């Protein structure tokens, strides 16, 4: 029987992970943390978290191990490398990857974990830096119900909307659907404001008017004001969004599904990254349109 509260290892303290780990610490969970850049963990350590020098060392100390890192290659390194999480996690413990990654990798991790008596979930999130900071993330989960129920109180510390989508990899497929919707919505936000500006309207006035009507959306309300202020700091990095859109197109193509809107968004974001915007937030797509002025 896992003690309550369970000890948690948290791996990856970036734009979103740092806030997520902080909420778990505030909720009273014993926390051990690891990040490639150790300095990003210092304030959490100052608040009571323990530092681990590697993902494997972190997992060895925990009942539940959570990660949110950058790319599928990073996930594979964290979990499946010699001395990684799968190899060092305690039998009976639970490992949860919250990175947006590939469904096939989530399934591989689950298969390897099962061989060692370790439970596994894939649980990517949506909500960006604001959702992470305000503990309002949407969490999409793949894996067995028993593991899901065990993780549910932990998930609810980080966000109120937590849904079991199906078996291993289903959380990642749901996140792909989420990213497809966001890509199209971001295009519409940017193009509507670009049109308003080009015809001589005040984009801020137009934004205020249309965001309250049927054109309103989370992206319009949250990213529209950032665009208007010229604030392109990352709530979600362009480089990571490009990764997500490529995964979504690969998964769609494997099933003979054409998604022309997604393909256009991917090409525009790849152009933005190539022109120096990889480290900016996704709302920086605006710069491709404003540059044409």
For 130, phi then psi, to 5°, come to -65, -45
163-194 pLDDT, tens digit each: 999 999 999 999 999 999 999 999 999 999 99
* Domain annotation covers residue 87: yes
208 with 137, same domain: the answer is no
Report helix, strand or coil for 128: helix
75 with 191, same domain: the answer is no
Mean pLDDT confidence for 105-133 = 96
For 123, the domain range is 8-166
Mean pLDDT confidence for 108-134 = 96
* Domain annotation covers residue 219: yes
**Given a cut of 70, is residue 32 above it in pLDDT?**
yes
Mean pLDDT confidence for 115-141 = 96
The residue from 175, 239, 243, 266 that is catalytic is 175
| Residue 119 parent element (H or E) | strand 119-122
Q: How confident is the model at residue 231 (pLDDT cuts 50, 70, 90)?
A: very high
Mean pLDDT confidence for 111-120 = 98
* Domain annotation covers residue 3: no
81 with 193, same domain: the answer is no
Can you give the pTM of this predicted structure? Answer: 0.93
Q: How confident is the model at residue 293 (pLDDT cuts 50, 70, 90)?
A: low
The CATH number assigned to the domain holding 73 equals: 3.40.50.720
Q: How many CB atoms lie within 10 A of CB 208?
A: 13
* Domain annotation covers residue 51: yes
206 with 252, same domain: the answer is yes
- The average confidence (pLDDT) of the chain is 96
92 with 225, same domain: the answer is no
147-159 pLDDT, tens digit each: 999 999 999 999 9
**Given a cut of 70, is residue 291 above it in pLDDT?**
no
- Give the end of a domain, one of 138, 166, 194: 166
**Given a cut of 70, is residue 112 above it in pLDDT?**
yes
* Domain annotation covers residue 83: yes
47 with 185, same domain: the answer is no
Q: How far is CA 32 from the centre of its chain?
A: 20
DSSP character string of 132-191: HHTT--EEEEES-HHHHHHHHHHHHHH-SEEEEEESTTHHHHHHHHHHHHHHHHHHHHHH
Q: How confident is the model at residue 263 (pLDDT cuts 50, 70, 90)?
A: very high
Catalytic (active site) residue 175: yes
Q: Are 82 and 55 in contact (CB under 8 A)?
A: no
Mean pLDDT confidence for 27-56 = 96
The CATH number assigned to the domain holding 259 equals: 1.10.1040.10
83-94 pLDDT, tens digit each: 999 999 999 999
* Domain annotation covers residue 1: no
Q: Give residue 43's pLDDT.
A: 95
What is the total count of domains within the chain?
2
- Take residue 278 and report the two structure tokens written for it: 């990889």
């Amino acid at each position: 029987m896992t003690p309550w509260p369970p000890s948690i290892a948290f791996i990856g303290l970036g734009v979103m992970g740092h806030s997520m780990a902080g909420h778990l610490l505030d909720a009273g969970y014993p926390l051990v943390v690891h990040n490639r850049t150790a300095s990003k963990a210092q304030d959490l350590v100052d608040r009571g978290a323990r530092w681990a020098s590697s993902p494997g060392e972190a997992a060895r100390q925990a009942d539940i191990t959570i990660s949110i890192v950058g790319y599928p290659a990073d996930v594979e390194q964290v979990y499946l490398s010699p001395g990684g999480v799968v190899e060092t996690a305690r039998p009976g413990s639970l490992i949860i990857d919250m990175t947006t990654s590939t469904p096939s990798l989530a399934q591989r991790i689950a298969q390897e974990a099962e061989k060692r008596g370790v439970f596994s979930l894939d649980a990517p999130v949506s909500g960006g830096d604001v959702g992470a900071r305000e503990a309002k993330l949407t969490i999409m989960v793949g894996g067995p119900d028993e593991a899901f129920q065990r993780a549910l109180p932990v998930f609810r510390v980080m966000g109120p909307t937590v849904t079991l989508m199906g078996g291993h990899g289903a959380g990642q497929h749901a996140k792909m659907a989420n990213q497809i919707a966001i890509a199209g919505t971001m295009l519409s936000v940017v193009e509507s404001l670009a049109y308003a500006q080009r015809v001589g309207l005040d984009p801020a006035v137009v934004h205020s008017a249309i965001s309250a009507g049927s054109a309103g959306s989370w992206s319009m309300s949250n990213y529209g004001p950032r665009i208007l202020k010229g604030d392109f700091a990352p709530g979600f990095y362009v480089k990571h969004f490009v990764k997500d859109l490529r995964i979504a197109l690969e998964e769609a193509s494997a099933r003979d599904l054409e998604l022309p809107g997604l393909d256009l968004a991917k090409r525009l974001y790849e152009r933005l990254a190539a022109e120096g915007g990889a480290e900016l937030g996704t709302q920086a797509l605006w710069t491709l349109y404003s540059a044409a002025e």
